[in-house]
Chains A and B, each alone.
Chain A
């Protein structure tokens, strides 16, 4: 807070010639930092503040892209969908209603739906199924901020607290984009079993994530 410039680098927005065409925007914008609340950044984005959106981007792009990558597996497809999601966030910023939930949830919901829509339309499955619950360590690259690393670990440890069959069901449904019926088919178990595994898993995650917060 003491240093308003300690936010994410804004160099990408100012290195190219386009920046020269926007001196007014630059001069009027506040110095957005990594500490600015997401809803404040989104509100300013909604009124066309590209600097605020850039700061918002820096905050959410790693999770948006990560989720797309996890679901789609293919790096270039994932980037494509992540790009669409982030541009959609810009477009629809004015339509965001804080009373419906946090910015965090709103953006992740859009990202999850778009990535799952894409993977369902593409169809390829084996790789995403196999990998749906394998967590590698590559997030360390981005998790330079202690706060973010804590977030990642918090969610991963909540996942680790699930039973194996619960974790498997969550992996196939959420991280691989399968419907409950598809999960049942893949696992060769009755649909009711999948539903109860998911229900118990989500109930447990909800308890763990809230208890630890």
Chain B
């Protein structure tokens, strides 16, 4: 794992100079890991406070790099953005999957040294204050509950483990969907689970996890637009000319969706998503917005 020319983690925020996760933390902060690596490292972050704190600090460094290349925004962009936000509803509370796009949720609680504060736009918040928020407490509760899952997942396919983290981030939703939760958990922690992933048109990604043994599958997607009025997203397992419905779903207000798919799938099929009239269709009637081979 460690390169031969390893000389120590000079300048890196790790307690030990030979911290084995240093390369992953750096790659993670630079958003330069493969999706599978990223997913498995996110699992590691859930249980490793020193990596979590390090990542918070490294993200500050990465964020600084953004500063080096400013461009004067055209006035039209300002007008468009301000017009758009005037008619864009805001998330009322922290989105359950916020940590997907930013720092993993609980990590900054461990970080007291995450870089310069030149603009005075941040202050350190005592870890105890986080309890008033509730979300951090929720998350650690989830973490305890899923520690067994974490162990099982470590032995399972790396990408499937990553989905476990995404599910962890959705604990608030899952708490109200207990039955689905255990099914979903079974799918994503199944031994030999396979995953397939593809970019969505507007920048997010969709990942499908399939447990070939049970035939059950789950979908995690980000950045899905709200379907047009009277329409819904419908998932399909496609084989040759025939498509079997895997259920309809609606993304949350943040555009993300985590769905336990209905029906049975197997490797060799293609997973697809189409936009259908509300209630769904017996067979796809539109061009798929997503098609991922289940390798």
Q: Which A residues fall within an 8 A CB radius of B?
A: 12-13, 16, 18, 37-39, 46, 48, 50, 53-54, 57-58, 61-67, 69-70, 78-79, 81-84, 86-87, 90-95, 97-106, 108-114, 116-118, 120-121, 135, 138-139, 141-143, 148, 151-152, 154-156, 158-159, 170, 173-175, 177-181, 183, 190, 192-193, 195-196, 198-200, 202-207, 209-210, 213
Contact = CB atoms under 8 A, between A and B. Distances in A.
Contacts of B67: 63, 108, 151-152, 154-155
Contacts of B287: none
B81 A105 contact: no
10 contacts: A58-B78, A61-B81, A91-B254, A94-B93, A100-B103, A101-B122, A179-B27, A196-B7, A202-B11, A202-B29
B241 interface: no
B218 to A, nearest CB: 21
Nearest to B55: A101
Given A81-B203, A113-B31, A183-B32, 8 more contacts: A66-B69, A79-B73, A92-B91, A97-B108, A99-B124, A205-B65, A206-B57, A206-B58
B229 interface: no
Contact of B108 (A50, A95, A101): A101
Given A84-B203, A101-B60, A53 B70 contact: no
Contacts of B121: 37-39, 102-104
Contacts of B148: none
A110 to B, nearest CB: 6
B90 to A, nearest CB: 5
Which bucket holds chain B's interface residue count? Answer: 35 or more
A100 B63 CA distance: 13
Contacts of B69: 63, 66-67, 69-70, 135, 139, 175
Interface in B115-143: 115-125, 127, 129-130, 133, 135
A114 B203 contact: yes
B230 interface: no
A97 B115 contact: no
A104 B63 contact: yes
